[in-house]
Amino acid sequence: MSTEPAPGAPFVAVDDACKTYGDGEKSVRALAHVDLQVPRGRFVSVIGPSGCGKSTLLRLVAGLEEPDAGTVRICGRTPEAARAAKLIGFVPQVPALLPWLDVLGNVRVLEKVNRPAGRRGSRRGLASDPVALLTRLGLGDVLHRRPGQLSGGMQQRAALARAFALEPQVLLMDEPFSALDEFTRESAQLQLLDVWQDLRTTVVFVTHSIAEAVLLSDTVVVMAAGPGRVAGVVDIDLDRPRHHGQLDTAAMHEHEHRVRQLLETAWNPLEPSGRDVA
C-alpha cells in the first residue's frame, strides 16, 4: 500500500482535537479544539508554557493516546495504522539507547528490526549510510563507544541519527535538546539542520526555546494553557539552508519577537486568544 496521502494533503492533520484527563472538579482540559496541519517536508515547532498540552498533542499524533473528540491523521491514516506501518519516528527528551551496543550498533540494530519490509533497500543517500549520518551529526570519532561513554549531547545526537536512519514519514521530537548546555545545544541544532536539509523529513518539534523554534522551523505554533489551545502561528521565512551566521541577525530577532509577543498573550489569562488557527 502507498504511504503517500492524497496529493496536497498534509502529512500531519489534527482537526478540532480535544483531550481531558480525569473527571469532575479535578479534570484537566489538556487540549481544547486544537488544529494542526503539517505539510510534507515541513519543520514545525510547537512552543508554549508548561502544561499547555504540547506533549499531549505529540502523544495524540504519535498514536500513544486518543483524542476525546476530533481527528488525527498521519499520511491519511489513523495514528495506529501509521504506527503499524512504521511511518512515525519519535525522539524523546531522554535518549533511549541500548547500553550494550556501540553508537553504530544502536543505529544499525533498530534499522534491521524496524524498517518496514516494503521500504528496505529503497533508502535515500544519507539515511542509507549510518556512518555518514553519524559523522554529519559530529559522532564520526565515537562510532564504537557505548552510550555510557558518551556525553548527554552525544547520546541525543545518536538518538537523532537512529530516528533519521529509519526514514519515518513523520518525525516527532519532544524537547530533545532541553537537557543540554547552551553551547552544546546550539551545535546540536545546527547539526540537526544540516541532516534535515538533506532528508527533508516532516517534523513536529516540541520546545521551550524561542530561539531554537525560530532557527529550526518553517512554522512555529504557539500554544496557550487553561485549556490547552493554539494561540497563534508564526511563519519563519528565513532563508534555507540555515546556518550559524543567521543566529544574530535582525531578521532572526524579528521572528523571535513575534513568537515572544504571542507567548506573552498566551501567558496572560486576561488577554483573549482566538480559536485555534494552525
CA neighbours within 13 Å on the CB side: how many for 94?
A: 1
What's the alpha-carbon Rg for the chain, to the nearest Å? 19
Min CB(250)–ligand ATP separation in Å: 29
Q: Which spans in 137-201 are helix H?
A: 152-165, 182-199
Min CB(174)–ligand ATP separation in Å: 8
Nearer to ligand ATP, 27 or 71 (CB): 27
Task: Name the DSSP class of 52.
Answer: S
Q: CB under 8 Å to 277, separation ≥6 — which residues?
A: 35, 230, 232, 233
Min CB(68)–ligand ATP separation in Å: 13
The count of other CB atoms within 10 Å of the CB of residue 123 is 15
Buried b (16+ CB within 10 A) or exposed e, 207-232: bebbbbbbbbbbbbbbbbbebbbbbb
Min CB(156)–ligand ATP separation in Å: 17
Nearer to ligand ATP, 30 or 166 (CB): 30
Min CB(206)–ligand ATP separation in Å: 7
Min CB(173)–ligand ATP separation in Å: 13
Nearer to ligand ATP, 72 or 139 (CB): 72
What is the Cα–Cα distance from 122 to 253, expressed in whole angstroms?
Answer: 41
Nearer to ligand ATP, 65 or 111 (CB): 65
What is the Cα–Cα distance from 236 to 254, expressed in whole angstroms?
Answer: 10
Q: Which spans in 67-224 are helix H?
A: 79-84, 103-114, 130-136, 152-165, 182-199, 210-216
Which residues are at the interface with ligand ATP (CB under 6 A)? Answer: 21-22, 28, 30, 48, 50-56, 228
Min CB(199)–ligand ATP separation in Å: 26
Nearer to ligand ATP, 57 or 170 (CB): 57
Min CB(28)–ligand ATP separation in Å: 5
All three cell numbers of 125, joined, read: 543517500
What is the Cα–Cα distance from 138 to 199, expressed in whole angstroms?
Answer: 17
Nearer to ligand ATP, 51 or 76 (CB): 51
Nearer to ligand ATP, 88 or 134 (CB): 88
Side chain identity at residue 168, one-letter code:
P
What is the Cα–Cα distance from 197 to 191, expressed in whole angstroms?
Answer: 10
Nearer to ligand ATP, 52 or 173 (CB): 52
